[in-house]
Amino acid sequence: MKKQASLNTTTSCSSRITAIKDTMEILSGKWKFHIIGTLLQSDKMRFMDLIREVDGIGAKMLSKELQDLEMNHLVSRTVLNTKPITVEYKITDYGKTLEPIINEIANWGMEYRKLIYKAANQED
Amino acid sequence: MKKQASLNTTTSCSSRITAIKDTMEILSGKWKFHIIGTLLQSDKMRFMDLIREVDGIGAKMLSKELQDLEMNHLVSRTVLNTKPITVEYKITDYGKTLEPIINEIANWGMEYRKLIYKAANQED
DNA sequence: ACCTATAGTTTCCTAAAGGGAACTGGTTTC
DNA sequence: GAAACCAGTTCCCTTTAGGAAACTATAGGT
């Protein structure tokens, strides 16, 4: 008789797995956290501001990532009727609910650095 | 005069950005969360158990992801001296510190589903 | 006239991620 | 002796992600 999966087949489990997949897909790619993190700090930003703040990103990537975020209602996009056209990007209230996740991830990463540093020193 | 970045250039900010990059690199790929989540539930698992529990993963990917996780001290690997060789994978204490992150991500994803569902019903 | 700025899009390319299938090599079971 | 189970590895292939450079069109500055 073949062995079968048992742990991850309960409904509570598979909905958890789906939830994680959903979240990670929404936040997928090299730049999403970076962009959201930047918008969380500053409330309003224009396209060119983001190009300058998000270190290393190019116009194509920024444009694409912002479209993704807008589609998922995490970021709002407002075209202003100014002389050279300007566009305002803001994080939505919904987008702000990501802050706890981002904080957890940032904190974990900082603890990680500390541990690596400690381990490296103990080896000497 | 050229405009310059200002927000993300403070030291506290750039170390936060680095921390997020670190964490996401350690947890990168399609399967890491899935594997860690499974190991968090069950403490000890063998290679073939994981193949069965982590839905859709192949031997090559599982092997590679487990090596990554072991390198980062999130998972331990113990070869048992049994007749057909068996290997025991366990999450480390350090790996368990990821639980809050995973919980946040899972919870956010479940709230997301609820909102999408609500929005879809209101449109009718 | 020419440079800069605005917000992108388009084209073309490379690098990285992911996956299927076969294979290793040992052991146990039928 | 053939088949199956364990824990992988190797080879080859496809798909996706990411990025650089050029280009759209409009307007203000020097």
Per-residue pLDDT of chain B (124 residues; tens, 9 = 90+): 456 677 777 888 889 999 999 999 999 999 999 999 999 999 899 999 999 999 999 999 999 999 999 999 999 999 998 878 899 999 999 999 999 999 999 999 999 999 888 988 987 6
Question: Is residue B121 a part of any domain in this protein?
Answer: no
Question: Is residue B107 a part of any domain in this protein?
Answer: no
β-partners of residue A42 are none
Give Cα B1 to chain centroid, integer Å. Answer: 45
Could you tell me the distance in Å between the CA of residue A97 and the C1' of nucleotide D11? 45
CATH of the domain at B88: 1.10.10.10
Question: Is residue B2 a part of any domain in this protein?
Answer: no
Residues 6+ apart with CB under 8 A from B94: A115, B73, B74
The predicted-structure confidence for B68-95, as pLDDT tens digits, reads as follows: 999 999 999 999 988 788 999 999 999 9
Tell me how far apart the alpha carbons of residues B121 and B124 are, in angstroms, rounded to a whole number.
6
Contacting residues of A for B74, CB less than 8 Å apart: none
Range of the domain at B14: 10-95
Nearest CA in chain B to A101: B104
Cβ contact (<8 Å) for A22 and B94?
Answer: no
Tell me how far apart the alpha carbons of residues B62 and B68 are, in angstroms, rounded to a whole number.
10
Tally the domains of chain B: 1
Tell me how far apart the alpha carbons of residues A19 and B108 are, in angstroms, rounded to a whole number.
8
Tell me how far apart the alpha carbons of residues B35 and B45 are, in angstroms, rounded to a whole number.
11
The length of chain B, given as a count of residues: 124
Question: Is residue A69 a part of any domain in this protein?
Answer: yes
Q: Which nucleotide is closest to B58, CA to C1'?
A: C19
Please provide residue B72's backbone torsions phi and psi, each rounded to the nearest 5 degrees: -90, 15
Alpha helices, DSSP H, located in B72-98? 93-96
Question: Is residue A10 a part of any domain in this protein?
Answer: no
Question: Is residue A107 a part of any domain in this protein?
Answer: yes
Question: Is residue B52 a part of any domain in this protein?
Answer: yes
Burial A27-58, CB ≥16 within 10 A → b, else e = beeebbbbbbbbbeebeebebebbbbbbeebe
Cβ contact (<8 Å) for B34 and A20?
Answer: yes
**Which of B23, B52, B106 faces A109 most closely, judged by CB atoms?**
B23
Could you tell me the distance in Å between the CA of residue B26 and the C1' of nucleotide C19? 21
Question: Is residue B102 a part of any domain in this protein?
Answer: no
